C-alpha cells in the first residue's frame, strides 16, 4: 500500500472539480491510497469490489473513528443491519424490507408519492426566488417517510432535520458526535412511538406491514424498531441531495428541461444520467474481511477500501465523452449509486420514484424555471447541495 500513488481529497482541484479530477486520476491509476485507506478508481474494480464477499461493512470502524460512546445510539448501530456482514443475519434482516420495497411494491407507492409531491409543489411561491431545498427537496422524502410510518406531515421537518444530523457520521468528525448521539436518541423514541401507534391501529401502510412481519416472527421487535430508524436515518438526507442535484443538472440545461416537460417518458433516462454524471454517493466504503490482493496490491485484513463511484461513472471505456450529459446513452453498464448485492440500497426504487416524480411535476408545471443560485459541496463520500434557489415561473 505504501507504494501506491496518493489521492488528496483536500486539493483545490478536487474541491472545485471532483469528477473531472477523479476521472483524470483514473486514467493513470486503477488503485490508489489516501489518508482514509485504499482507493479504487476503475469501474470494473469498483463493481467487483462492491460485490466481493471478501469485503464487508466498514461501519464498526466508522463508529470507532467517531468515538461513539456506549449508550442507546451505539447499541442501535451494533444491532442494525449496518454492522452485519454477509451471512444469515444480514439476509434475514433484509428479506422483509426487500419484499416490501421491491420494484413492484415500490411502484405501488408511486400514486401516493405523486400526491405528496403535488401538494408540496402547490405551496411553493412562484414569480419570486425561493429556497427549493427548504420548500421541495427536504419536504418530499420526509413527507413520504411520514406516509410510510403513519405520521402527520407536520413531523416532516423533524424527520428532515434529524436525518441530516445523523448522516454526519460519514464526516468521520468526532466533533459531530454529541449531536449525532442526541439525534439517534430522539429517533429511537420516535420509532417506538410510531410502532406503538401502528400496533394500536394498524392500517395499510409500510410500518403496519413491518409490524405484521415482526409479529409473524420474521424478525424481532428490536429489528423492527431499528428498521424504522434506518428508514429515517438514510431517507431525507440522501434523497434531498439527489433531488436537488437532479433539478440543478436538468434545469441548467433548458433544452433538456423543456424536452422532459413535453416527453415525460424520457424522465427515467434523464434521472439515470444525472445519477451517473453527478452522483450523490461519490464513494462507498468497505473493509477487507481477510488479506486480499487487487491489481497486485496486498491489502491487509481490516483495511478500509473505497469504491470511487465518481471515477467509475466517468470511465471513458463505458461512457464515451463522460463529461457530456446525454439522453441517448445506451448499452452502458448501470450506475453504482445504490451499491450492489447484499449491500445494495433497499430503498433505491422508492428513491428513484421520488426523483422521477419531482422532475415530472416540475418540468410540466414550470417549463421556464430559472436557477438563481446553485452551490455544491463535495466530500470524499458525498455530493451535497448546500444552496438551491430558483424562480419557478419567471416573467417573460
Q: What is the pLDDT of residue 83?
A: 86
| Residue 214 resides in a domain | yes
Q: What is the pLDDT of residue 395?
A: 58
Grid cell locating 71 = 449508550
| Residue 5 resides in a domain | no
* Beta bridge mates, 40: 31, 307
- Helices 177-200 and 206-215 meet at what angle, rounded to 10? 80
User: Three-class SS of residue 298?
Assistant: strand
Question: Is 157 buried (19+), middle (13-18) or exposed (0-12) by CB count in 10 A?
Answer: middle
User: How many other C-beta atoms lie within 10 A of the C-beta of residue 367?
Assistant: 14
Pseudo-torsion of CA 379, 381, 387, 391, nearest 10°? 140
In the chain, alpha helices (H): 12-16, 18-28, 43-51, 59-66, 72-79, 88-100, 103-122, 132, 139-148, 156-166, 177-200, 206-215, 221-251, 254-262, 267-277, 309-312, 348-365
Evaluate whether 124 touches 392 at the Cβ level (below 8 Å). Answer: yes
Evaluate whether 51 touches 340 at the Cβ level (below 8 Å). Answer: yes
pTM of the model: 0.94
Number of folded domains in the chain? 1
| Residue 212 resides in a domain | yes
The rounded percent of the chain whose pLDDT value lies above 90 is: 82
| Residue 1 resides in a domain | no
| Residue 294 resides in a domain | yes
Give dist(CA 207, CA 185) in Å, integer: 20
DSSP conformation letters of 158-190: HHHHHHHHHGGGGGT-GGGHHHHHHHHHHHHHH
Backbone angles phi, psi at 186, to 5 degrees: -65, -40
Give dist(CA 77, CA 296) in Å, integer: 35
> What is the residue range of 75's domain?
12-391
Residues 6+ apart with CB under 8 A from 116: 140, 143, 144, 147
Give dist(CA 370, CA 393) in Å, integer: 8
| Residue 337 resides in a domain | yes
Low-confidence ranges of the chain (pLDDT < 70): 395-396
Residue with cell 497486485: 296
Q: How far is CA 213 from CA 192, 194, 231, in A?
A: 16, 16, 16
Backbone angles phi, psi at 123, to 5 degrees: -95, -5
Give dist(CA 171, CA 168) in Å, integer: 5
Give dist(CA 187, CA 181) in Å, integer: 10
| Residue 309 resides in a domain | yes
Q: What is the pLDDT of residue 2?
A: 81
Pseudo-torsion of CA 209, 214, 219, 221, nearest 10°? 120
**Which CATH number fits the domain that encloses residue 278?**
1.10.630.10
| Residue 6 resides in a domain | no
Question: Given phi > 0 = left and psi -120 to 50 = alpha, else beta, which region is 56?
Answer: beta
Residues 6+ apart with CB under 8 A from 294: 31, 38, 40, 45, 49
Amino acid at each position: 500500500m505504501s507504494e501506491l500513488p496518493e489521492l488528496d481529497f483536500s486539493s483545490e482541484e478536487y474541491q472545485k472539480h471532483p469528477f473531472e479530477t477523479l476521472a483524470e486520476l483514473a486514467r493513470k491509476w486503477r488503485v490508489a491510497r489516501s489518508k482514509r485507506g485504499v482507493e479504487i478508481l476503475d469501474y470494473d474494480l469498483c463493481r467487483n469490489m462492491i460485490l466481493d464477499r471478501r469485503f464487508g461493512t466498514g461501519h464498526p470502524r466508522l463508529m470507532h473513528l467517531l468515538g461513539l460512546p456506549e449508550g442507546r445510539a451505539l447499541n442501535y448501530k451494533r444491532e442494525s443491519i449496518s454492522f452485519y456482514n454477509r451471512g444469515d443475519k444480514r439476509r434475514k434482516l433484509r428479506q422483509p424490507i426487500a419484499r416490501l420495497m421491491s420494484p413492484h411494491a415500490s411502484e405501488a407507492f408511486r400514486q401516493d408519492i405523486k400526491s405528496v409531491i403535488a401538494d408540496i409543489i402547490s405551496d411553493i411561491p412562484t414569480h419570486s426566488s425561493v429556497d427549493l431545498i427548504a420548500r421541495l427537496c427536504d419536504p418530499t422524502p420526509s413527507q413520504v417517510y411520514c406516509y410510510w410510518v403513519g405520521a402527520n406531515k407536520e413531523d416532516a421537518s423533524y424527520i428532515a432535520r434529524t436525518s441530516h444530523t445523523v448522516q454526519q457520521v460519514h464526516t468521520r468528525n468526532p466533533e459531530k458526535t454529541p449531536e449525532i448521539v442526541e439525534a439517534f436518541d430522539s429517533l429511537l423514541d420516535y420509532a417506538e412511538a410510531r410502532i406503538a401507534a401502528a400496533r394500536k391501529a394498524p392500517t395499510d401502510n409500510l410500518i403496519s406491514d413491518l409490524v405484521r412481519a415482526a409479529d409473524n416472527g420474521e424478525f424481532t421487535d428490536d429489528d423492527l424498531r431499528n428498521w424504522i430508524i434506518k428508514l429515517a436515518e438514510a431517507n431525507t438526507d440522501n434523497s434531498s441531495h439527489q433531488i436537488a442535484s437532479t433539478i440543478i443538472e436538468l434545469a441548467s440545461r433548458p433544452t433538456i428541461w423543456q424536452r422532459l416537460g413535453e416527453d415525460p417518458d424520457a424522465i427515467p433516462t434523464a434521472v439515470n444520467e444525472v445519477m451517473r454524471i453527478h452522483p450523490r454517493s461519490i464513494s462507498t466504503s468497505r473493509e477487507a474481511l481477510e488479506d486480499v490482493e487487487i491489481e497486485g496490491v496486498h491489502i491487509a485484513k481490516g483495511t478500509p477500501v473505497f469504491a470511487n463511484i465518481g471515477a467509475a461513472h466517468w470511465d471513458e471505456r463505458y461512457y464515451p465523452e463522460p463529461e457530456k450529459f446525454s439522453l441517448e446513452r445506451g448499452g452502458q453498464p448501470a450506475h453504482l449509486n445504490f451499491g450492489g448485492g447484499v449491500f445494495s440500497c433497499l430503498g433505491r426504487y422508492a428513491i428513484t420514484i421520488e426523483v422521477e416524480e419531482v422532475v415530472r411535476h416540475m418540468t410540466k408545471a414550470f417549463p421556464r424555471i430559472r436557477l438563481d443560485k446553485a452551490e455544491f459541496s463535495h466530500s470524499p463520500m458525498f455530493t451535497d447541495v448546500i444552496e438551491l434557489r430558483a424562480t419557478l415561473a419567471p416573467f417573460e
